Chain A
């Protein structure tokens, strides 16, 4: 077992009586830097109706603008020799500001941190710059740069429809247009307050420095923010599919999901972690989904499953902190598979195929979930997966910033230290508890599915899914000639696996996120 997480940290958890804020300390006397994280319990769910994206605009303008004394350009001049960095990140329920500076420069950098948070300049020119980029993101970038990320955002739009969780944190085309600088100023006063703030600090800092920080942050607005209640996310009736059709897509990018009533706060989470890791650990080849779809059939680049939000799955190998949520869903990520147009062009023997691999891949993936629910994990699979996780989760906190982030997220969920507590829970867990958790939380009859695909693929794919007709896998001759019998037999079963489809819609990409 790894021991580093328990030996290098001196974790001090203080509730300072004089301050409303919770403080998470991580003293690292050998570190050459200080990392400060300010987590406001205020995310995109606090965006007013019609102004979706306002929290993101506000947080971004704080880090992309100036202070009462210094313009954005002045700040860039000052921090240039320090190479200090800072950024904001907004998720559904929290907005986090992260500052990193070398200890040589801490005292000189601190007034900038203080000015940005307590006295942001909020000037019109900076606002226009930030808003224009945000508008461009929701209008163009999200739809044109990664179909995988697009399909994930489309899934949240469908799964959380009608709730404050629905919209992207960046907002929608029409809502961003309506955001004004006055909206930002008001939102800052109402939601970035000392009453919904958690303060985290890691590295080589003095108690005196921390006291100054806490005293200063006590000057944040004293209003009590009204955080919306999260409505219960309803389980869909059957399988509901939205196919988003766009020009010149090269493949079909797929996300599926359904709500689950569990977060890191519950001890059951450890059991579900084991099941999820067995089924589809992120970017690992051990998962059943990866084995069946990529390793044995090479249909795409990878296939994974999730029991909570995973930030930027295309870029991160390990789950970053800073995105805690009360509302979770189970998800399958099927990376882009081939469309018929491409298969026809690539292989003479496939010149007559009518649909690509999306329907078959979906069936193969959902069938694996079904198997896990019905059969469960064997004792051997359970033990190897549990042992893997006990070691692997410690890699989540191999940098000071991530250690601090995970500790702060722990507090969000009412835990002291999620990683060490999961380690303990994993040590005690049994195979029966895992399989019971699978039966309790997972199923295959009701879910949402979003697929980003090419215009030429959308209609035949929709018809195939809607009619539940067999979707045989189409291999090139080169691959097909030596496929083992067991693979072909499983293909046959998967191709005929019935999905409880209730609705299939095609949506033009132009209509998304309006």
Chain B
């Protein structure tokens, strides 16, 4: 299971733009490879990106279902649990047979779930593409597991929770979401609440309902990147997925009420360095509004290793061991995150005050154009260097498909980055970086966080 922080994403999502801009072609797409799209009659979108990786292809399916869709009481963590169930077999390919065939392909294959989507992927020999289509279409259309298998698989999810829970940061993250959100399903992690995980074996019928709702062509997109042609991919998609029946379910995700005051989440733990996170309610992802691109640029300016704040707190004063910031990409409004790991718990308030001072400084005085331009360059070159293999490209496209349904969002987003102005930075600070939108999350040996 992966949680996507935008600031982490930036590291590997932000670059081909550079290649074009350095060649003086700023209107061109950030992704230098053509994105071929074909929508089948049943609503399934098929995306192909030919890429120079002789003999190798990445085959991804992104389903736009994640923990965001877990609207009913008592079923948190179900999208992720269901990802596990997708490996439990069909009438044609039992669990054992599926494993045997997958092994024969020799591919790297797995799946992961986050708040807005579930991704299934295989990367391997391009000559085995048809076999990949066969295997995947069968389980997406005909998944069939026994109630016993369902109950047994729940134990593996509990094992995953047990593994993750060893990290205090994971424990705090669970508290943070539960505190920051009141009604929206972003209130729980993708793993889900532990009580719901323990109860999973009792939810067999709901699991069938879940499959019927979401494992449908209109929720899904196939992405193939590598040594392939769109003609071949489209023809295989038609052959194997053309008869996949469309569904009709539409989820009604509760709207999060407006936050009115600062909230607090705290974990008492003296075994790791003190930690403070400032989490502001941000906007939903958009490939047409300037807010999120402006927030990305702002966070890069504020928290990169060359920022004044980083130099002061990490390098010179050595009050923070780590300082970073970024925003979650999400379909609905999520959080902008600023995180610091400290030397001393006594500096928590100081760190918070310094971060707010740096933000307010930009609000009052802006930034110089050279820094703005260098930041855009940084974003572009990071992206350019990251896109060096089919899996990374497919994964990147799946990320944007999960947010908007459209892989071209990556190109649209990067065109927006180029348009961000100093005034945009001031505007997003005035709009989002406010005490009334803030949740402060802390870890220290004390019973309370003590930061105001």
**Residue positions of A touching B, CB distance < 8 A:** 1-4, 7-8, 30-33, 72-73, 76-77, 79-84, 100-102, 104-105, 125-126, 128-129, 132-133, 136, 140-141, 143-148, 249-251, 253, 283-286, 294-302, 314, 317-318, 335-338, 342, 346, 384-385, 387-392, 394-395, 398-400, 476, 478-479, 482-483
Q: A81-B378, A478-B201 in contact; A301/B156 too (CB < 8 A)?
A: yes
Would you call B436 an interface residue if the criterion is a C-beta within 8 Å of the partner chain's C-beta atoms?
Answer: no
Given A32-B19, A283-B110 in contact, is the A478-B151 Cβ separation under 8 Å?
yes
Please determine whether B54 and A7 come into contact, CB atoms closer than 8 angstroms. yes
Q: Does B290 contact A (CB under 8 A)?
A: no
What separation, in Å, do the CA atoms of A404 and B227 have in the docked complex? 22
Contact assessment for B271 and A140 in the assembled complex, using a CB-CB cutoff below 8 Å: yes
Q: B105 touches which one: A76, A143, A389, A391 (CB < 8 A)?
A: A391
- Interface residues in B356-415 by Cβ distance below 8 A to A read 373-375, 377-382, 384-385, 388-391
A sample of 19 more A-B contacts (CB under 8 A), given A80-B306, A144-B168, A250-B162, is A1-B125, A4-B56, A8-B52, A32-B385, A33-B385, A79-B306, A81-B373, A81-B377, A81-B381, A82-B381, A83-B380, A83-B385, A126-B315, A132-B343, A300-B156, A338-B158, A338-B159, A391-B105, A398-B56
A297 to B95, alpha carbons, bound, how many Å? 14
B99 touches A83 (CB 8 A): no
Centre residue among B102, B162, B202, B272 by max chain A CB count within 10 A: B162
Residue among A126, A133, A253 with max Cβ neighbours from chain B (10 Å): A133
- Please, could you name 20 A-B residue pairs with CB atoms under 8 Å apart, sorted by A? A2-B125, A33-B385, A33-B388, A72-B315, A76-B306, A80-B306, A83-B378, A125-B315, A129-B315, A141-B273, A144-B272, A285-B87, A314-B163, A338-B159, A392-B124, A395-B107, A398-B53, A398-B123, A479-B151, A479-B152
CB contact list, B6-38 vs A, under 8 A: 14-15, 18-19, 22
CA distance A251 to B19 in the complex (A): 49
4 tightest A-B CB contacts, nearest first: A391-B106, A298-B155, A83-B381, A76-B306
Nearest B residue to A337 via CB reads B159
Pick the most buried of B102, B154, B305: most chain A CB atoms within 10 A of its CB: B305
Residue pair B53, A73 in contact (C-beta under 8 Å): no
Cβ contacts under 8 Å, A140 to chain B? 271-273
Contact B154 A298 (CB under 8 A): yes
List B contacts of A400 (CB < 8 A).
Answer: 388
Q: Flag B302-316 by CB within 8 Å of A: 1 or 0 each.
A: 001110001100111
Whether B169 is near chain A, meaning CB under 8 Å from some CB there, is: yes
Report the separation of the CA atoms of residues A301 and B166 in the bound assembly, to the nearest whole angstrom: 14
Bound-complex Cα distance A392 to B110 (A): 14
Contacts of B103 in A (CB 8 A): 284, 286, 384-385, 388
Asked if B321 and A395 sit within 8 Å, CB to CB, the answer is no
With both chains docked as a complex, state the minimum distance between the C-beta of A450 and any C-beta of chain B, in angstroms: 15
The CA of A133 and the CA of B202, in the complex, are separated in Å by: 46
State the CA gap A125–B320 with chains docked (Å): 14
**Is A250 a contact partner of B165 (Cβ separation < 8 A)?**
yes
Interface string of B219-234 (1 = CB under 8 A from A): 0000000010000000
B113 to chain A, nearest CB (A): 14
Are B124 and A384 interface neighbours, CB within 8 A?
Answer: no
Q: For the complex, give the distance between the alpha carbons of A79 and B382 in Å.
A: 11
Query: How far is the CB of B388 from the nearest CB of chain A, in Å?
Result: 5
The 8 Å CB contact of A336, one of B99, B162, B306, is B162
Highest count of chain A CB atoms <10 Å: which of B14, B107, B202, B381: B381
Question: Is the C-beta of B55 less than 8 angstroms from some C-beta in chain A?
Answer: yes
Judged by a CB distance under 8 angstroms, whether B134 is at the interface is no
Q: Within the assembled complex, what's the spacing in Å between the Cα atoms of A144 and B170? A: 12
Which B residues fall within an 8 A CB radius of A? 14-15, 18-19, 22, 52-56, 87, 95, 99-100, 102-108, 110, 123-125, 146-148, 151-156, 158-160, 162-163, 165-169, 198, 201-202, 227, 269, 271-273, 304-306, 310-311, 314-316, 318, 321, 343, 373-375, 377-382, 384-385, 388-391
B60 to chain A, nearest CB (A): 14
Which residues of B have CB within 8 Å of A479?
148, 151-152, 155, 201
List the A side residues contacting B273 at CB < 8 Å. Answer: 136, 140-141
CB-contact partner of B159 in A82, A249, A300, under 8 A: A300
Task: Please indicate the chain B residues that have their CB under 8 angstroms from the CB of A33 in the complex.
Answer: 384-385, 388
Q: Min CB distance, A14 to chain B, in Å?
A: 24
B305 cross-chain contacts in A, Cβ below 8 A: 76
B-side contacts of A125, CB under 8 Å: 315-316, 318
Checking B166, B169, B374 against A81 with a beta-carbon cut-off of 8 angstroms, the contacting residue is B374
A-side contacts of B321, CB under 8 Å: 132-133, 136
| Residue from the list A82, A84, A129, A301 in contact with B160, Cβ < 8 A | A301
A100-B385 in contact given A83-B377, A129-B315, A336-B166 (Cβ < 8 Å) = yes
**How far apart sit A294 and B153, CA to CA, in the bound complex (Å)?**
8
A392 contact from B99, B100, B106, Cβ within 8 A: B106
Q: Which residue of B lies closest to A478 (CB)?
A: B201
Residues in B neighbouring A147, C-beta threshold 8 A: 163, 166
Contact at B108–A104, with CB atoms within 8 Å? no
Minimal Cβ-Cβ distance residue in A for B165: A250
A125 to B311, CA, bound (A): 12
CA distance A72 to B220 in the complex (A): 47
Which residues from A are CB-within-8-Å of B167?
145-146
- Is there contact, CB below 8 Å, between B152 and A80? no
Shortest Cβ distance from A47 into chain B, in angstroms?
23
- Chain B residue nearest in CB terms to A298: B155
| CB–CB B159/A387 < 8 A | no
List, in ascending order, chain B residues with CB within 8 A of A81's CB.
373-374, 377-378, 381
A31 and B388 in contact, given A4-B53, A82-B381, A148-B163 (Cβ under 8 angstroms) = yes
Q: A4-B56, A104-B22, A391-B106 are in contact. Are A145 and B124 (CB under 8 A)?
A: no
Identify which of B102, B165, B318 contacts A132 (C-beta below 8 A): B318
Cβ–Cβ < 8 Å partners of B388 in chain A: 31, 33, 399-400
Shortest beta-carbon distance, B319 to chain A, in Å? Answer: 11
Contact call A299/B155, Cβ cutoff below 8 A: yes
- In the assembled complex, the Cα of A76 lies from the Cα of B139 at a distance in Å of 49
Residue pair A336, B159 in contact (C-beta under 8 Å): yes
Q: How far is the CB of B43 from chain A (nearest CB, A)?
A: 31
- Asked if B318 and A128 sit within 8 Å, CB to CB, the answer is yes
Whether A4 lies near B54 (C-beta < 8 A) is yes
Closest to A345 in B: B198
Query: Which of B52, B54, B95: most chain A CB closer than 10 A?
Result: B54
Residue of A nearest to B382 (CB): A83
Closest Cβ of chain B: how far from A323's Cβ, in Å? Answer: 20
Most chain-A Cβ atoms within 10 A of its Cβ — which of B87, B108, B304, B391? B108
A395/B385 in contact, CB under 8 A: no
Give complex CA distance A8, B167 in Å.
41
A295 CB contacts on chain B under 8 angstroms: 95
**Complex contact A80–B378 (CB within 8 A):** yes
Residues of B within 8 A of A77 (CB): 306
In the bound assembly, the distance between CA atoms of A284 and B19 in angstroms comes to 37
- Shortest distance between the CB of A26 and any CB in chain B (Å): 13
Bound state CA distance, A286 and B124, in angstroms?
16
A338-B162 contact in complex given A1-B125, A3-B55, C-beta closer than 8 Å:
yes
